Amino acid sequence: MEPMEQPIQERIDRWLNGPYDDQTRQTIRSLQRDHPAELADAFYRDLEFGTGGLRGLMGVGTNRMNRYTVGAATQGFANYIKKSFPGTPRIAIAHDSRNNSRFFAETAASILAANGLEVFLFEDLRPTPELSFAIRRLGCHAGIVCTASHNPKEYNGYKAYWQDGGQLVPPHDNNVILEVVRIGSPDQVQWGNHLEGVKILEKSMDDQYIRMALGLSVNPEAVAAQHDLKIVYTPIHGTGITLVPRLLQAMGFDSVDIVEEQATPDGNFPTVIYPNPEEPEAMAMGLEKARITGADILAGTDPDADRVGIGVKDLQGNYILLNGNQTAVLAFGYQIEARRAKGMARKNDYVCKTIVTTDLIDQIAAANGVACYNTLTGFKYIAELIREKEGTEHFIIGGEESYGLLTGDQVRDKDAVSAVALICEMAAFEKQQGRSLFEKLLELYTRYGMYLEKLVSITRKGREGALQITEMMTAFRNNPPVSVQGSALVRLLDYQSGIDRNLRKGTRSPIRLPRSNVLQFILEDGSKISARPSGTEPKIKFYISVNTRLRGAEDHPGTLKLLEERISGIIRDLHLE
């Protein structure tokens, strides 16, 4: 067996000889003997408490999710909370259906209580958006949810929230990171040994959330008229089962079929490889049930119920899955148009999306005289914008291409529970007009332009992978393409340097957003390519957007093929296969 690199061996030795439990030491020795490469990966670095918290594989080691890494993160977070707020700060904690999520949530609750915080812990698994809602409703100063969202079953995570109900943003994120880094040993953690004094959140918080979500409806009369709308819903073994069926029933929908094979919360996600509604495989059972029942709409949520995917019938009656951009276009369009038709629109209304989400939303907002703001990728930046504009502008809806939507401002994170309700209301409204959601999407394309987007994710795992991702970004930054598919590069936006270069005019202007490792290439034909390393997965992501005019629904198949060929050409030119 080759000798371990010195820094890695030093970390391993600290765990073998330090204040760690016997089971952890036994597991390390077993890995030393049988799986040295796996052990090296588990210790080659510290699992970084990033700007959103922790996320990683579960297991022993400094680079894994376990009692000790969660303990250090929680103690560092507690130290910062106590520095930031006098008296007895309050914190709410939730968790999803993943393996060990309850254990990590209780570990955090015990540590925070031992640090003198007033702790509220949900009695059982709950959707992430309800945690955000509870922070605001209880007047908490912070929050935690133990989840790895849509990652594979081997992962878990820990997301940290501030008093507005949004995830940590500057300066709090970086300040918390500094506090976490200072925790160098389990001896520095006030572990606590029980949940005595922790307040348990029961059904009453669910009741308050349901009442809030019901108040978001724009056309309850459409729901009443189409109460028998055929809905298929799958929680994909996650937390959505706790609230989504109840909310749909409270709205008045009485024909909701749940995918029973995926209804029971289960951290092993036995029916899917990835519990992610972005993956067609995860929605396959829902699609099959929709075909059998002749459903009007299919909705699926991820394990912590912050992402939603939908399926609809196309013009031929075949069920298809919409991507996150298409769902967002329908949702934004509905909120803008329906609010205006009902006399609910305000002069200071605005919508918000991320820089990698379809620009068709900008077009729809501009044509309807509604302000549309763009933020960096990550819903925490949408939450930050809502907080900054409170009292001056009125937030309607926010969204991102990665299947995230938020209606109203009483939650400050993406909310798949209220999004399912919104999507079903939209389907009911369109059915009352004698058309489907897909037909509505084609109408929007015809009026504002047809946009097609594709996400290309390249996975590079481990230490070598992280280096390869860095090298790819450096190469694109230092040697951007002159043209792609025969269309010249006319603008280059580098969010890391904060410079927007207009290559046609030869000008430079500042990007008025925080610095971030993102590049965007704008081509002469209107195509846009965005590149960014993922903040939560070992991936580099390329977001490709192309657009053209659509004359009418009858031209959709041919126009779709044209745009798909353009995207394929961009992928080939940039060697992203």
Closest CA to 327 of 245, 239, 426, 244: 426
Q: What is the dihedral sign for C-alpha 192, 198, 203, 206?
A: negative
From the list 265, 373, 322, 357, the residue with the least C-alpha distance to 541 is: 357
Instruction: For residue 284, count other CB atoms closer than 10 A to its CB.
Output: 15
Neighbours of 240 (CB within 10 A): 33
The answer to whether 457 is a known catalytic residue is no
- Comparing CA positions, the residue from 134, 153, 172, 135 lying closest to residue 49 is 172
> From the candidates 101, 149, 530, 545, which is the catalytic residue?
149
Task: Answer whether 64's CB lies under 8 Å from 27's CB.
Answer: no
Tell which residue, 260, 207, 204, 265, has the closest CA to residue 239.
265
Residue among 430, 378, 372 at smallest CA distance from 396: 372
Chain-centre distance for alpha carbon 102: 21
Phi, psi of 93, deg, nearest 5: -135, 135
- DSSP label of 129: H
Antiparallel, parallel or unpaired: β 297-301 and 308-313:
antiparallel
Asked whether the beta carbons of 105 and 93 are under 8 A apart, the reply is yes
| Distance, CA of 193 to CA of 196 (rounded, Å) | 9
What 312-315 contacts at long range (C-beta under 8 Å, 24+ apart), as own/partner pairs, is 312/427, 312/436, 312/437, 312/438, 313/436, 313/438, 314/438, 315/438, 315/439, 315/442, 315/553, 315/556
Q: Which residues does residue 313 pair with via DSSP β-bridges, in sequence order?
A: 319
447: left (phi over 0), alpha (psi -120 to 50) or beta: alpha
**C-alpha triplet 516, 517, 523: angle, nearest 5°:** 105
Q: Which residues are catalytic?
A: 149
